[in-house]
Structures are given as structure tokens and as C-alpha cells.
Structure 1
Amino acid sequence: MQTEASMTEGTKSADMNGMQGKLIRTRDITGGNIYTVNEANDEGWNPTTVHNEVGSEWNTIGEIEDVVLSQDGQVTGIVAEVGGFLDIADKHVLISIDDLNLVAVDDATYGYVTRQNEEDLEELESVDEGFWN
């Protein structure tokens, strides 16, 4: 016999299963690329745009190290690895979600595109594990 609590939990599971195509796991984002559209800040950037593919004119300028959430669960930005070569002299920076658009790389992985260029990102303050403490 199902209790009201177990029926409610079953309903939540069914609702979540119906949303599978609309949900993205952070493991599908971390390790992904960061691209630049190489646009100036005043060229109509819209932080709510979601891209279905990587633009042919975009350049890869970094890698997503982590997704940063607020205490209420909202994505506020990402930690990006930029600069350097073969993990030598690279830098970790925090990019605000207002400067990022999600982009589907394929059916299972995602990246972010930004209006900032690599030099802009390299000028940001470094973050490391001590930043969070």
C-alpha cells in the first residue's frame, strides 16, 4: 500500500523523468571549452541567449573548471582556466554569468561563449582554492 508521501515522491520522480531532455548536469559542462565571439561590449550582447551549436567564427580561449552557484542554487558564473600552454602559466578566473551564454557542443556536452576575448580574461583577478575559504 502506498502512503501519500510515497505517492508524492513517485510523482516527483515521474515529473523529473519527463524533464530529462531539458536538464543539464554540471559534469556535462565542466571540462568544456570557453569560446569568444570577439564582439565589443556594446554590440548587443544578450546574457540569456542559448546557442544550439558552436559558431564557426568563434575561437576557443579557455576551459571550464567549475560552475559557481549562489546559496539559493542560481548559477552566478564559472571558474575558467585561461592563458598558458599545456597547463604551464595558466590562470583561473571567475567569469560572471552575465558575460556568458550556454552553448550545446553536441548531444552530451556543453560549453560557454563570452563576449570577452582571451586578453580580457587574462586581466581578471586570479582565483584559487583559497578564494573560497
Structure 2
Amino acid sequence: MKSDVRTLAALVAAGTNNAETADQTSLAENLTSSGRIEDGSVYRLELTPDDTVWANGEGYTEIDANWNKIGEISDVLLDKNGQMIAVLVGIGGFLGVGDRDVILPLENVRFAKGDDNTYNYVTNLTKEELEKLPEVDSGIWD
């Protein structure tokens, strides 16, 4: 699938509009918009030895009832080459009051598709590790 995404991305970047080479259906199935990631939730899970999804770097197909919701995704962070490298997450607080923005690198998160067709994240960081993450001023990029 990664090679399909790279091929489609290369075709899109090259400006092709040939329907035979850049099939829109394949594009929609293999890519998502950052708007569907932003405003998603972030959950924390306790990893178990039999969790092959995390170990294989795959995404989860549903939200597990045992996961603890820890916050909301406020932004998707890209490096200067346009590669997604992290998510900005508001954690703590209640109903958006008293929360703080932290950066979760991609190696500490996996996608988790929600019932409402949004993308969420799940992290393997412990509560203590999350509390130690430095706060980031979300206006730093303005």
C-alpha cells in the first residue's frame, strides 16, 4: 500500500490528469485529508504482548472501550519536506478548559478510525510520560 500511495502522490505532484494513471478511487482509498485528522481524539492504551497491531505499525480499525481518552488533536505537524512527523494534542483539562498543547511524535501514535469516519490516534505513552511532555505554545507557527 505504501508504494501505491507514493506512486499516486508522485503522479499528483507531477501534475498528471490522466485518469488511467491516477485513479481517483485509489487516491481516495489510500490518502486522507488533514482535516479528517484534526479534531480527532487521542486515546491512551496499555500495550499487551499480544497486540500485533501496534508492533506491526498498523492502524486500529476501531476505538477500544478500554482506551482512555486523553485529549483532542489540534494540528498535524509537518517537517520542511512536507512529511507528517507529529500531531499537536490538547491534553488534560475538562471540555477544553485547562488543557495544554503537547507534541506527540508519530513513533508514539497509531491511527484509530472512529465510528463517525474521523481519524483518531492512540498512544502507547503512559500517563506519567504524557504529564512530563513539555507544553507547546500553539501559536508558535502563527
TM-score (norm 2): 0.74
Question: 17, 20, 24: which one pairs with 1:10?
Answer: 17
**Structure 1 residue 22 corresponds to structure 2 residue 16:** no
Q: Is the 8 A contact 1:34 1:113 kept in 2?
A: yes
Q: Tell me which residue corresponds to 1:68.
A: 77
**Residues 79 and 22 (structure 1), Cα distance of their counterparts in 2 relative to 1, 3 Å cut:** same
**Residues 13 and 132 (structure 1), Cα distance of their counterparts in 2 relative to 1, 3 Å cut:** farther
Percent of aligned positions with the same letter in both sequences?
31
Task: Answer 1 or 2: higher relative contact order, Cα 8 Å, separation at least 6.
Answer: 1
TM-score (norm 1): 0.79
**Residues 85 and 24 (structure 1), Cα distance of their counterparts in 2 relative to 1, 3 Å cut:** same
C-alpha separation in 2, matches of 1:47 and 1:67: 22
Deviation of the 1:15 alpha carbon: 1.1
Q: Tell me which residue corresponds to 2:123.
A: 114
Pairs within 5 Å for 1:1-133: 9-11=16-18, 15-19=22-26, 20-39=28-47, 45-46=54-55, 48-106=57-115, 108-129=117-138, 131-132=140-141
Aligned residues: 124
SS at structure 1 position matched to 2:55 = coil
**Residues 130 and 49 (structure 1), Cα distance of their counterparts in 2 relative to 1, 3 Å cut:** same
C-alpha separation in 2, matches of 1:107 and 1:88: 24
Q: Is the 8 A contact 2:101 2:138 kept in 1?
A: no
Specify the code of the residue in structure 1 equivalent to 2:39: G
C-alpha separation in 2, matches of 1:100 and 1:62: 13
Q: Is the 8 A contact 2:72 2:89 kept in 1?
A: yes
**Residues 102 and 128 (structure 1), Cα distance of their counterparts in 2 relative to 1, 3 Å cut:** same
Q: Is the 8 A contact 2:16 2:22 kept in 1?
A: no
Runs of at least 5 residues in structure 1 that lack an aligned partner in the other structure:
1-7
